[in-house]
Structure 1
């Protein structure tokens, strides 16, 4: 009985320490700086402070960004450019991956394990044409933290700077799981920055999405090149499908025209004598379109004998 009690005690101490480590592994601060450019691009700097315990954070972290946005019922891919990635103030190895609806920045070296404790990641990237253009206003709408983290976020802060001369007409933000309409945040404007800050900790798979309404004129409308790129993003799949279909049709049509088409018939005119170099059997077949009885064979044998090719006894 005593051995059983000691075993259970050791198990619960070990289990409790594991749960404690899991509870400690978290993002303590998720700070996002968004610089809105005059042309509608955004420059994003994310500073992510984490506590690693070797549970989920072993070699590094994943930053999953949305890969598509919806426009007129179409899924349009975001265009990202990753500028730099750092860990604890030094350049860090990273890879880019496309995983379903996520654009993943995989940060860390596969051969290097992180030490337990706090680490700071800084990610700089650019997103093309992030502003949404509507009839009466424009909008910055951005899932600032992402909604796919496997550990909690103690605090998230989003700081937005607009280009010179641009103002905002309204703001809102949503916290929680993807699609949530909860609004656990506070908003303030300080030194030209529009700041959104969560008012409660975010749990696993929770994040914050911000929205700023911008009066027309503050952000340039999309250029002709941007509109072409958007058209290609929306119609590229259909264009290549139709082009491929036409190419296959043209290929088979050319082969049919060259090898499968019936040869052109010559002029038709009446003949008043039997065709030359045709045996009686061949003439009979042409006339009747079949072999009828033994007359054609008999006539052919007589014709061969007449030419001296066979002897008939």
Structure 2
């Protein structure tokens, strides 16, 4: 038999070397440069955080977004309503534009964030546009034995574009003696520049933020300075203990046994599937009804339900028409 692989090895290596030379010699933008690609950015991002006496954090964001010559249909701001197991109530959302850009606000609650889409999908805007987003946040303060505290990421870390200049102003009904700010990634932060504007307001600034870098403000307040409601918590999304996890692992390991004889009747698989689905829905349903569709928690009942569904599906597949013939053919070959 001719050695086809040996004959092709030389030509393939030659073609690869030629392609490498061509790619290294070619200009970075191609044979005919078409000019720089559109580069979006946020020239300015100004936030005012007002700490109200009723325990509500009032937020006003003024975002100047440069769509460059490529244009866009608006911006998307993601505000967290859940951090780990801690819940926040983001409400009273409104938007406007001082540059006349479409500023209709549409909201969608995702797994951990409230997605605020500002703009119009039918109308495209170009250049620099200014948007104002306002909303209130409840359950944002954390009570301690000797003080109350607010920790809030003022601009978020979901922006895919750089932010040239960001400013966060904190206003309170009492003197702000303990207020700080850190900027950057969660694990690599720098201290923000600070400028006090009287005893009741503090300004923090930061320039040159890269994509997905934020500004986190921490304010420490004396007890009873504001009415702090008890924080709200939701159970973790996976709350299963070792028995439920073990049952799920055993079900996965027992799938191979479903193909052996004798196989339970096909109706058994359907019953297991139905019961497993009911257990899974019941486990997630109570949390969903109490806190919304993204506050679900899956525990041991869900693990048992998934185990039953896995076994039911394995039995149903093993009882399919043709599976017996395949098993018989394999036995005949042996």
* TM bin (shorter chain): 0.5 to 0.7
Alignment partners' CA distance in 2, 1:87 and 1:170 = 34
**Closer, same or farther: CA 9–157 of 1 in aligned 2, 3 Å:** closer
Q: Identify the match of residue 197 of structure 1 among 205, 210, 223.
A: 205
1:108 paired with 2:116, answer no
Q: Number of residue pairs matched?
A: 216
Partner of 1:307: none
What is the CA distance between 1:210 and its match in structure 2?
0.7
- Equivalent of 1:119, from 114, 124, 129? 129
Equivalent residue number for residue 48 of structure 1: 63
1:230 to 217, 229, 232: 232
**In the aligned structure 2, how far is the partner of 1:125 from the partner of 1:16?**
40
1:182 equivalent in structure 2: 189
Structure 1 SS opposite 2:218: strand
- Aligned residue in 1 for 2:176: 168
Distance 1:219 1:13, change over 3 A: farther
Larger radius of gyration: 1
SS at match of 1:84: strand
CA displacement 1:145-199 (0-9 Å, x = unmatched): 0001010000110011102xx233322222112x23422411121143211111x
Partner residue in 1 for 2:151: 141
Q: How much has 1:39 moved relative to structure 2?
A: 1.8
Distance, in Å, in 1 between the alignment partners of 2:111 and 2:215 is 21
Alignment of 1:10-159 (within 5 A): 11=30, 14=33, 16-18=35-37, 21-22=38-39, 25-53=40-68, 58-70=72-84, 75-88=85-98, 90=100, 92-114=103-125, 116-159=126-169
Contact 1:154/1:201 (8 A) holds in 2:
yes
Secondary structure of the residue aligned to 2:151 is strand
Q: Give TM-score scaled by structure 2 length.
A: 0.58
Cα gap change, 1:127 to 1:100, in 2 (>3 Å): same
For residue 95 of structure 1, report the CA deviation from its aligned partner.
Answer: 1.1
In the alignment, which residue of structure 1 is the partner of 2:3? Answer: none
Partner of 1:305: none
Q: Is 2:188 the counterpart of 1:212?
A: no
CA apart distance, 1:49? 0.7
Contact between 2:99 and 2:129, CA under 8 Å: does it hold in 1?
A: no
Q: What is the rounded CA distance, in whole Å, between the counterparts of 1:108 and 1:61 in structure 2? A: 7
- Residue 174 of structure 1 aligns to a residue whose secondary structure is strand
Unaligned ranges ≥5, structure 2: 1-21, 237-282, 290-334
1:98-153 CA deviation, whole Å, 9 max, x = no partner?
22222110111111111x21110000101112111111111121100000101000
TM-score, with length taken from structure 1: 0.62
The alignment partner of 2:232 has SS state of helix
